[in-house]
Amino acid sequence: MELNFRSDNESPAAAEILAAVVEANRGTAWSYAEDQWSAQLNAAFSDLFGIATTVVPLSTGTAVNSIALATVTPPWGAVYCHEGAHILQDEGGAPEFFGNGLRLVGVAGANGRLHAADLRHAIKSNNGHGVHSYLSSALSLTQCTEAGTLYQPDEIAALCDVAKEFNMARHMDGARFANATAALGCSPASITWQAGVQMLSFGASKNGCLAAEALLFFGENQWQERAERLRKRSGHLLSKMRFVSAQLLAYIKDDCWLKLATHANHQAAQFAGAVRAHAQAELEFPPAANEVFVRWTASGFAALAAAGIQFLDWPSRTDLARFVFSHSTSDKETEVLCQTLQSLGD
């Protein structure tokens, strides 16, 4: 038994995914995404999303986000995102690199969420000075947010409406898109293109794949060639792309992705309940999917760690830690976590 709640990035691949990789390893296949698995992606994702969808398979979320943003944003363009967004805080400047010096503008918002009025205010504050300012070019939302919270479909639509007002592209970083969709119980369409999102970073590595992500464009778009140029130019066009595409196909087949995410979300909910029941520890943000942020004493966290529980101390905060649950977290592991927390509560 492992008691590792640091990150879903640390989870192994799911059996279905590994089986698909093994299965794809038969004979020769055209290289550079010209293979038969890659050829099925557009149809499979179009079916999933209920709209003509163009799929660009990739192997890291950072690459997907960066290619997406650089595809729609000129070097003198600004991308608006939450101030805690992964693209701003955790990608080592990849968006700026792919985008040749584009700028990310972080906007504050409670619980990891942007609000339409704040977004509009930020855009207005940055506009109106012509070539001396950056051009407001794109909005990037994160679903689930970095705080483990969610946007409802109408909230997404409201934010996309603001972006449309200013003629900006709309992107969603869906590193945990499966967890969001499973938690909301909605269709994937309802929180993406139906709400105004044009591009989705469809994450899969955190939820059961070895290394598989996809950039999705919804509906007619003129961006595919740019995205494919950037994919090659950034060294992300794998010669044996079949192994990535095979993962993606298996991942969305028979609701595999949602089953895996539902399991992870359920574990998180159990733990959230334990935190709520605890005398001292508190929930920093209202948990909605597979991440739980706990505010507690440094000594409390130290005791938890001493009991063998692994979690993430939040950078530059001694009173905050993150617990993440994945498709591979067992009921038993979650139970031990909850009991251990409880035992330290008195």
Q: Which residues, numbered 21-80, are part of the site for a second copy (CB under 8 A)?
A: 21-22, 25-32, 59-64, 66, 74-76
Q: Which residues contact 277 (CB under 8 A, 6 or more apart)?
A: 342
What are the tokens at 135? 């051009």
Cα–Cα distances in Å, from 83 out to 76, 105, 146, 198, 292? Answer: 20, 8, 10, 21, 19
Residue 3 or 51 with smaller CB distance to a second copy: 3
Q: How far is the CB of 183 from a second copy (least distance, A)?
A: 21
Cα–Cα distances in Å, from 105 out to 82, 122, 221? Answer: 8, 8, 25
Site for a second copy in 168-197 (CB under 8 A): none
Helix, strand, coil percentages, rounded to 5, for the chain: 45, 15, 40
String marking each residue 101-140 x if it binds a second copy according to CB under 8 A: xxx--------------------xx--xx-xxxxx-----
Q: How far is the CB of 161 from a second copy (least distance, A)?
A: 21
Q: How far is the CB of 206 from a second copy (least distance, A)?
A: 7
Q: Which residues contact 130 (CB under 8 A, 6 or more apart)?
A: none
Q: Which residues contact 182 (CB under 8 A, 6 or more apart)?
A: 258, 261, 262, 265, 289
Query: Could you tell me which of 28, 104, 120, 66 has the C-alpha nearest to residue 233?
Result: 66
Q: How far is the CB of 112 from a second copy (least distance, A)?
A: 17
Q: How far is the CB of 235 from a second copy (least distance, A)?
A: 3
Q: How far is the CB of 194 from a second copy (least distance, A)?
A: 29
Residue 54 or 194 with smaller CB distance to a second copy: 54
Site for a second copy in 315-334 (CB under 8 A): 315-316, 328
Stretch that binds a second copy, among 8-16, 111-119, 186-194, 254-262 (CB under 8 A): 8-16
What are the tokens at 105? 């503008």
Biggest CA–CA distance in the chain, Å, is 62
Residue 135 or 189 with smaller CB distance to a second copy: 135
Residue 27 or 185 with smaller CB distance to a second copy: 27
Residue labelled with tokens 């690459």: 63
Residue 4 or 40 with smaller CB distance to a second copy: 4
Count of chain residues binding a second copy (CB under 8 A): 76
Residue 190 or 335 with smaller CB distance to a second copy: 335
DSSP letter string over 46-112?
HHHHTS-EEEEEES-HHHHHHHHHHHH--TTEEEEEETT-HHHHTSTTHHHHHTTS-EEEEE--GGG
Q: How far is the CB of 209 from a second copy (least distance, A)?
A: 8
Residue 147 or 237 with smaller CB distance to a second copy: 237
Cis before 209? omega within 30: no
Site for a second copy in 230-289 (CB under 8 A): 230-240, 243-244
Residue 93 or 286 with smaller CB distance to a second copy: 93
What are the tokens at 255? 């609701």
Q: How far is the CB of 155 from a second copy (least distance, A)?
A: 26
Query: Could you tell me which of 291, 331, 297, 330 has the C-alpha nearest to residue 311?
Result: 291
Is residue 314 within 8 Å of 322, Cβ to Cβ? yes
Stretch that binds a second copy, among 14-22, 146-154, 193-201, 272-280 (CB under 8 A): 14-22
CB-CB neighbours of 277 under 10 Å: 12
Q: How far is the CB of 195 from a second copy (least distance, A)?
A: 26
- What single letter denotes the amino acid at residue 222? Q
Site for a second copy in 75-104 (CB under 8 A): 75-76, 89-94, 96-103
What are the tokens at 226? 């740019």
Q: Which of 51, 52, 116, 211 binds a second copy (CB under 8 A)?
A: 211
